[in-house]
Amino acid sequence: MVVVMKSGSAAADVQRVVERVSELGYTPHVSRGQFRTVIGAVGGKDPQSREQLEQLPGVDNVMGIALPYKLASREFHEADTIIEVKGVRLGGPHVNVIAGPCAIESRELLFEVGAAVKKAGAAVLRGGAFKPRTSPYSFMGLGVDGLKMLKEAGDQLTMPTVTEVMDPRDVEEVAQYADILQIGARNMSNYNLLMEAGKAKRPVLLKRGLSATLDEFLMSAEYILSEGNDQVILCERGIRSFGGEARFMLDVSAVPLIQERSHLPIFIDPSHAAGRRDLVPALTLAGIAAGASGALIEVHSCPDRALCDGPQAVLPKNFERLMEQVRQIARVVGRKTTDWNGSSE
Amino acid sequence: MVVVMKSGSAAADVQRVVERVSELGYTPHVSRGQFRTVIGAVGGKDPQSREQLEQLPGVDNVMGIALPYKLASREFHEADTIIEVKGVRLGGPHVNVIAGPCAIESRELLFEVGAAVKKAGAAVLRGGAFKPRTSPYSFMGLGVDGLKMLKEAGDQLTMPTVTEVMDPRDVEEVAQYADILQIGARNMSNYNLLMEAGKAKRPVLLKRGLSATLDEFLMSAEYILSEGNDQVILCERGIRSFGGEARFMLDVSAVPLIQERSHLPIFIDPSHAAGRRDLVPALTLAGIAAGASGALIEVHSCPDRALCDGPQAVLPKNFERLMEQVRQIARVVGRKTTDWNGSSE
Amino acid sequence: MVVVMKSGSAAADVQRVVERVSELGYTPHVSRGQFRTVIGAVGGKDPQSREQLEQLPGVDNVMGIALPYKLASREFHEADTIIEVKGVRLGGPHVNVIAGPCAIESRELLFEVGAAVKKAGAAVLRGGAFKPRTSPYSFMGLGVDGLKMLKEAGDQLTMPTVTEVMDPRDVEEVAQYADILQIGARNMSNYNLLMEAGKAKRPVLLKRGLSATLDEFLMSAEYILSEGNDQVILCERGIRSFGGEARFMLDVSAVPLIQERSHLPIFIDPSHAAGRRDLVPALTLAGIAAGASGALIEVHSCPDRALCDGPQAVLPKNFERLMEQVRQIARVVGRKTTDWNGSSE
Amino acid sequence: MVVVMKSGSAAADVQRVVERVSELGYTPHVSRGQFRTVIGAVGGKDPQSREQLEQLPGVDNVMGIALPYKLASREFHEADTIIEVKGVRLGGPHVNVIAGPCAIESRELLFEVGAAVKKAGAAVLRGGAFKPRTSPYSFMGLGVDGLKMLKEAGDQLTMPTVTEVMDPRDVEEVAQYADILQIGARNMSNYNLLMEAGKAKRPVLLKRGLSATLDEFLMSAEYILSEGNDQVILCERGIRSFGGEARFMLDVSAVPLIQERSHLPIFIDPSHAAGRRDLVPALTLAGIAAGASGALIEVHSCPDRALCDGPQAVLPKNFERLMEQVRQIARVVGRKTTDWNGSSE
DSSP for B136-198 reads TTS----THHHHHHHHHHHHHHT--EEEE---GGGHHHHHHH-SEEEE-GGGTT-HHHHHHHH
Q: What is the model's pLDDT at position C31? A: 78
Mean pLDDT across chain A, nearest whole number?
Answer: 92
Give the model confidence (pLDDT) of A32-41 as tens digits: 776 678 888 8
| Choice among A211-220, B18-27, D43-52, D258-267 with the minimum mean pLDDT | D43-52
Q: What is the model's pLDDT at position D345? A: 41
Give the model confidence (pLDDT) of A129-140 as tens digits: 999 998 898 889
Give the length of chain D: 345
Pick the residue from chain C with its C-alpha nearest to B284: C290
Q: Which candidate in A54, A167, A173 is best for mutational testing of the B interface (most B CBs within 10 A)?
A: A167
Q: What is the model's pLDDT at position A51? A: 87
| Choice among B134-138, C276-280, D82-86 with the minimum mean pLDDT | B134-138
CB count in 10 Å sphere of residue D317: 11
Average pLDDT for C175-197: 97
CA distance C332 to B321: 12
In contact, A300 and A317? CB cutoff 8 Å:
no
Q: What is the model's pLDDT at position D239? A: 95
The one-character DSSP state at C64 is -
pLDDT at D237 over 60: yes
Residue A282: which of D239, D291, D328 has the nearest Cβ?
Answer: D291
Contact C241 A244 (CB under 8 A): no
Residue B121 identity (one-letter amino acid): G
More confident residue, B308 or A278: A278
- Number of B to D CB contacts under 8 A, please give it: 53
Query: Which chains reach chain C with 3 or more Cβ–Cβ distances below 8 angstroms?
Result: A, B, D
CA distance C190 to D192: 11
Q: What is the model's pLDDT at position D343? A: 44
Q: What is the model's pLDDT at position C342? A: 45
The percent of residues above 70 in pLDDT, for chain C, comes to 97
Beta bridge partners of B39: B3, B30
In contact, C30 and A29? CB cutoff 8 Å:
no
More confident residue, A65 or A62: A62
Pick the residue from chain A with its C-alpha nearest to D273: A253
pLDDT at A340 over 70: no
Residue C7: which of A34, A38, A75 has the nearest Cβ?
Answer: A75
Residues contacting residue D274 through CB under 8 Å, at least 6 positions apart: A253, D238, D246, D247, D250, D280, D283, D312
Residue B256: which of C214, C242, C282 has the nearest Cβ?
Answer: C282
DSSP for D258-282 reads HHHHBSS-EEE-HHHHHSSGGGHHH
CB count in 10 Å sphere of residue D80: 16
Which of B280, D328, B5 minimizes the C-alpha distance to A330? D328
Average pLDDT for B73-92: 95
- CATH class of the domain at D2-63: alpha beta
Give the model confidence (pLDDT) of D90-124 as tens digits: 999 999 999 999 999 999 999 999 999 999 999 99
Average pLDDT for B252-281: 96
Mean pLDDT across chain B, nearest whole number?
Answer: 92
pTM of the entire structure? 0.93
Residue B168 identity (one-letter amino acid): P
Sign of CA dihedral B331, B334, B340, B345: positive
Sign of CA dihedral C184, C185, C186, C192: positive
Residue B33: which of D33, D40, D241 has the nearest Cβ?
Answer: D40
Q: Which candidate in C4, C5, C32, C38 is best for mutational testing of the A interface (most A CBs within 10 A)?
A: C38
More confident residue, D172 or A28: D172
CA distance A222 to A217: 9
Which of D294, D287, D273 minimizes the C-alpha distance to A285? D287
Burial of B159 (0-12, 13-18, 19+ CB in 10 A): buried
More confident residue, C39 or C162: C162
Give the model confidence (pLDDT) of C104-154 as tens digits: 999 999 999 999 999 999 999 999 999 999 889 888 999 999 999 999 999
Give the model confidence (pLDDT) of A308-318 as tens digits: 888 899 999 99
Contact C260 B274 (CB under 8 A): no
CA distance C336 to C80: 14
Q: What is the model's pLDDT at position A213? A: 96
Give the model confidence (pLDDT) of B285-336 as tens digits: 999 999 999 999 999 998 888 888 888 999 999 999 999 999 999 999 999 8
Give the model confidence (pLDDT) of B83-124 as tens digits: 999 999 999 999 999 999 999 999 999 999 999 999 999 999
Which of A226, A222, A295 minimizes the C-alpha distance to A263? A222
Q: What confidence category does residue B340 fall into, taking pLDDT thresholds of 50, 70 and 90?
A: low
Q: What confidence category does residue B343 fall into, taking pLDDT thresholds of 50, 70 and 90?
A: very low
Q: What is the model's pLDDT at position A345? A: 41
Give the model confidence (pLDDT) of B5-20 as tens digits: 887 889 999 999 999 9
ipTM of the modeled complex: 0.92
Which of A253, A324, A258, A254 minimizes the C-alpha distance to A285? A324
pLDDT at D186 over 50: yes
Q: What is the model's pLDDT at position B228? A: 96
Q: Is D336 helix (H, G, I), strand (E, B) or coil?
A: strand
Domains of chain B by residue range: 2-63, 83-332
Contacts of D166 in chain C (CB under 8 A): 190-192
Q: How far is C325 from chain B (nearest CA, A)?
A: 7
Radius of gyration of chain B (CA): 23
Give the model confidence (pLDDT) of C288-329 as tens digits: 999 999 999 999 998 888 888 888 999 999 999 999 999 999
Pick the residue from chain A with its C-alpha nearest to D261: A245
Backbone angles phi, psi at D266, to 5 degrees: -125, 115
| Choice among B94-103, B257-266, D43-52, D250-259 with the minimum mean pLDDT | D43-52
More confident residue, D182 or C50: D182
Q: What is the model's pLDDT at position B8? A: 80
CA distance D31 to D36: 9
Q: What is the model's pLDDT at position C66? A: 73
Sign of CA dihedral C59, C61, C65, C67: positive
Find the angle CA(D187)-CA(D188)-CA(D193) to the nearest 5 degrees: 60
Pick the residue from chain D with its C-alpha nearest to A246: D253
The one-character DSSP state at A294 is E
pLDDT at C158 over 60: yes
Q: What is the model's pLDDT at position B81? A: 98
User: β-pairing, D2-5 with D37-42?
Assistant: antiparallel
User: β-pairing, A83-85 with A88-90?
Assistant: antiparallel
In contact, D38 and D3? CB cutoff 8 Å:
yes
Distance of CA A55 to the CA centre of its chain: 34
Q: What confidence category does residue C29 fall into, taking pLDDT thresholds of 50, 70 and 90?
A: confident
Contacts of C286 in chain B (CB under 8 A): 252, 286-287, 289-290
CA distance C232 to C181: 10
Residue D55: which of C54, C139, C310 has the nearest Cβ?
Answer: C310
Residues of B with CB under 8 A from a CB of C: 211, 213-214, 239, 241-246, 249-257, 260, 273-274, 278-279, 282-283, 285-291, 325, 328-329, 332-333
Distance of CA D323 to the CA centre of its chain: 22
Contact A75 C34 (CB under 8 A): no
Average pLDDT for A58-78: 87
| Choice among A63-67, B245-249, C123-127, D320-324 with the minimum mean pLDDT | A63-67
Average pLDDT for D183-207: 97
More confident residue, A44 or B226: B226
pLDDT at A67 over 90: no
CA distance B269 to B184: 11
| Choice among A124-138, A177-191, B41-55 with the minimum mean pLDDT | B41-55
Give the model confidence (pLDDT) of A166-177 as tens digits: 999 999 999 999
Q: How far is B281 from chain D (nearest CA, A)?
A: 25
Which homologous superfamily does the CATH classification assign to the domain defined by D83-332? Aldolase class I (3.20.20.70)
Q: What is the model's pLDDT at position C51? A: 87
